[in-house]
Amino acid sequence: MKAFTIIVLGLLLSITQTFAQKGVEDGSKYGHGEDSIRCLKNLSLYTELVKQELYDDAYPYWQIAFNECPLSTRRLYTDGVDIISHKLEKASEEAQKDEFFNKLMKVYDQRMKYFGDHPRYGIPYIKGIKAIDMLEYRKNDPGIRKEAYQLLNDAVHNGGAKYQPAAYALFLTTSIAMFNDGELTSEDVVINYTTISDKVDAHIDDSKMSKYKDIYTKLSEQVEELFARSGAADCETLDKIFSPQLEEHKDDLEWLQKVSRLLARGLCEDMELLYKVSEYQHEIEPSSSSAYGLARMYLKSGDTQRAISYFEEAIEMEEDDTQKAEYYYQLGLIHLAEKNYVAARSNALKATDHNPEWGKPYILIGKAYAASASSIGEDEFEHKTAYWAAVDKFKRAKSVDPETADEANELISAYSSHFPKTDEIFFQGLEVGGAYTVGGWIGERTTVRSR
């Protein structure tokens, strides 16, 4: 009887264990027996509290479900991110912040373990959103940033960013930050930019992604702007990356336009790559950037008139005001070199119309006034009045654009020394501080000043 009793007790214990088992132990969604009831109860409790955004109250119930039945539902992890993020943002002590940050990372890791095979939101996708939160809360930690960079790299290359556009932008900004800190080369940044740009363009063209088209179109513009301003897009690196690809893409208008814009923004005007890209692009579809490339090409070869013609074509087609201002300014420089001062001023003023806070066009006008001084008026005194008008422009330049202050101050100092002396002003019947209209093509009202 004693032996029989022991056997029966053993069987009862075995049956109890079989019917009371956590999902984390047997790989089921909810577990079995009492443990499944406990799982469902805690899932229900925390879910209702999350709906009311009572994250602190939901936390203990969620934690039980997270630990005991991790296969129950994918929502356990999306809700977990909201709950733990709330706790992390409320934490006041560093130890608490570290604790909840680590828990947040565990949410992502456990989601990859149990739901990483989801066809759309699998491991690559989870890596992307994990990296976003890593950089949200620990962006100044070099180790975290490197880890996040690798996660984003995996996400972008394996389709994980497709339904999480922020991952593309963050991959590029992280690449740029690491480049600025010497952790990546400029070539790395260009390669990452090219990868992102190609994938974003593919999403825009994918009919199955049509509802996201506006988002990706805007993202494409932002990505290009970020890269253009990164400092990594230097002419040498662009040439190294894109020149070997040119012949393969010579009939690919989209590729040619992208490279042409990058080269134009980087002012890579003396590169053979720009000339070839521009010629191919212009053959397919004339555009502002292709016309600019051809203008620079002909300017370098000494064919000034054809260069001017292409600059005018670039200006006519350009829609971006800042870029249009740049083209007008460069056209003004050409006319200044040709001693066509009227045209130089006209184009410089148009540049200021499109970019009012840019000082260089005013410096150009001032130089044109100073260069033409000997042709103003009929005597030495009238020649010198041109320098008053020139200095006015240099002062205007630094007032609208502090970045031009150093150059403007040097020019002011240099040309102020050409002002007439006080006695010269007196013999002309004028007074220092009085008004005066400079003659000739300048024709501007200015103030009488002595050397």
Structure token digits, residue 33? 């027996």
Q: What pLDDT does 19 receive?
A: 52
Q: Is the pLDDT of residue 23 over 80?
A: no
pLDDT band of residue 2 (cuts 50, 70, 90) is very low
- Greater confidence, 435 or 186? 435
- What span, in angstroms and rounded, lies between the C-alpha atoms of 42 and 45? 5
Q: What pLDDT does 422 receive?
A: 95
Among 39-48, 75-84, 203-212, where is mean pLDDT lowest? 203-212
Distance of CA 135 to the CA centre of its chain: 17
Instruction: Choose from 5-9, 30-34, 255-259, 334-338 the range with maximum mean pLDDT.
Output: 334-338
pLDDT band of residue 314 (cuts 50, 70, 90) is very high
Mean pLDDT of the chain: 90
Helix axes 288-301, 253-265, angle to 10 degrees: 60
- What span, in angstroms and rounded, lies between the C-alpha atoms of 317 and 311? 10
pLDDT band of residue 267 (cuts 50, 70, 90) is confident
- Write out pLDDT tens, residues 369-426: 999 999 999 999 999 999 999 999 999 999 999 999 999 999 999 999 999 999 999 9
Q: What are the residues whose beta carbons fall under 8 Å from the beta carbon of 69, sequence distance 6 or more? A: 22, 23, 24, 28, 29, 30, 31, 35, 36, 39, 43
CB 258 within 8 A of CB 227: no
- Write out pLDDT tens, residues 215-253: 999 998 888 888 888 888 788 888 888 999 999 999 998
Q: What pLDDT does 17 receive?
A: 47
Q: What pLDDT does 7 receive?
A: 40
- What span, in angstroms and rounded, lies between the C-alpha atoms of 58 and 44? 10
pLDDT band of residue 9 (cuts 50, 70, 90) is very low
SS3 content of the chain, % helix, strand, coil (to 5): 75, 0, 25
Q: Is the pLDDT of residue 18 over 60?
A: no
- What span, in angstroms and rounded, lies between the C-alpha atoms of 96 and 314? 58
Task: Write down the residue that tokens 């893409």 correspond to.
Answer: 249
Percent of the chain whose pLDDT exceeds 70: 95
Q: Is the pLDDT of residue 140 over 90?
A: no
